[in-house]
Chains A and B, each alone.
Chain A
Amino acid sequence: MNDALNAARAVALRDLKRHLRRRQDLVQPVVFFVIVVTLFAIAVGPDAAIFAKIAPAGVWVAVLLATTINLDAMFLSDYQDGTIEQLLLSPAPLPLLVASKIFAHWCATAGPQIAISIVVAIVLGLEGPVVSALAATLILGSPILSLVGAIASALTVGLRGGAMLQALIILPLYMPTLIFGTAAMHNAALDLPISAEIYFLAGLGVMAVSLAPFAAAMALRIRLS
């Protein structure tokens, strides 16, 4: 048991180190996010009333797209250099090691993403309650995106055209998170309570934490056999 936890800790620390040494993987999705939101703002035009109404949708869709293009970083390089095979052959349980990888990926990607989203929301002129609703839903929603994304990423790792396939698999699965995330922001804009959406996101999060590592581990095993 101790050995397994030690292995899980080693995986998380190693992945964090690797992510920090490949900073372009972390910076590019953030820049991508800012560009998508900017394009969206330019396309909607200068009418502040319309913009305030649809900005939450724009920000959330941009978050989903940026997360999707970033999922490759979770397993691809480890697949290419053979580290995944070493994980499969480790005596520690694979779902635990996969959970560590997801955790490290989430720490490295979601942190900058949430911070820049809040900055962008303020720059776009969203009101205080809406910005806090965005922060709350992103903090609860981004682990779901990473966990569910890990399943698709594991299923498609190393396939030719895998990135496109991964996006096609993952974007429909992101719908519940998108629905509750944007609903919370709409409610906040109308001064309504957002606790229902928060609870739903928390529930989805618990489900993702308990199921996704097993599914992703199984998917990796299938991909490598």
Chain B
Amino acid sequence: MQGPNGSGKTSLIRILCGLARPASGRVTWNDTDVHRDFVSIRDKINYVGHRRGVCDELTPLENLLFAGDLHTRQTHNDCLAALEKVGLGALSNTVCRKLSAGQIQRAALARLLVTDATLWCLDEPFTALDTQGRAIIESMLSDNAKNGGISVVATHQPLSLSGSNIKSLNLDG
């Protein structure tokens, strides 16, 4: 999903995951109205927005265990493996206050790996990431598509995903 600043990318993503209500129209998924029957689809959605959902006072591992508990139970090892994958293995026990913006972003995106959600709603996931981080996220997106998941990504940078079907939506201001 692309578009100039202020064209409504964030609003659309928040409406898609049921956080905000549309002024008109409906959002349905498998014939279920997302806003009427929010409860039944919540465990299928994973959202990483501008506000990362990563607490400064906790470590990446604690944040991830908490995210796992909010959805389905994940083991300690699943969380460690997820942090390993996004390149934070060595920092799993450092308080997030001491991490850089890119590292916080990685900690937030590691959440995608510890829930069973198949719909990933990502608002500018590449913000603050270096090229290596970007490659990791792109491979995660490809894997999600291969496993039958969908990712909705708002971004200003063209995506290069191998073997997945990309549909591009351009919003105009």
Chain A: residues with CB nearer than 8 A to chain B? 3, 6-7, 9-11, 14, 17-18, 21-22, 77-78, 80-83, 85-92, 97, 224-225
Contact = CB atoms under 8 A, between A and B. Distances in A.
Nearest to A86: B53
Interface of B: 17-21, 39, 42-43, 45-47, 49-58, 62, 65-67, 69-73, 95
Given A7-B70, A89-B47, 18 more contacts: A9-B69, A11-B66, A14-B55, A14-B66, A17-B57, A18-B55, A18-B57, A21-B95, A77-B56, A81-B55, A81-B56, A82-B54, A85-B19, A85-B49, A89-B45, A90-B70, A224-B19, A225-B21
B36 to A, nearest CB: 14
B66 A81 contact: no
Contacts of B58: 14, 17-18, 21
Given A14-B62, A82-B49, A86-B67, A91 B42 contact: yes
Nearest to A90: B70
B70 A10 contact: yes
The majority secondary structure among interface residues of chain B is loop
11 contacts: A3-B72, A7-B69, A10-B66, A17-B57, A18-B58, A21-B57, A82-B49, A83-B53, A86-B47, A90-B42, A91-B39
Contacts of B72: 3
B53 A17 contact: no
Nearest to B39: A91
Nearest to A14: B66
A87 B70 contact: yes
Contacts of A224: 19-20
B147 to A, nearest CB: 20
A77 B55 contact: yes
Contacts of A17: 57-58, 62
A7 B52 CA distance: 19
Contacts of B45: 89
Contacts of B65: 10
B151 to A, nearest CB: 16
A83 B19 CA distance: 13
A22 B57 contact: yes
Most buried by A among B20, B45, B55, B58: B55
B47 A83 contact: no
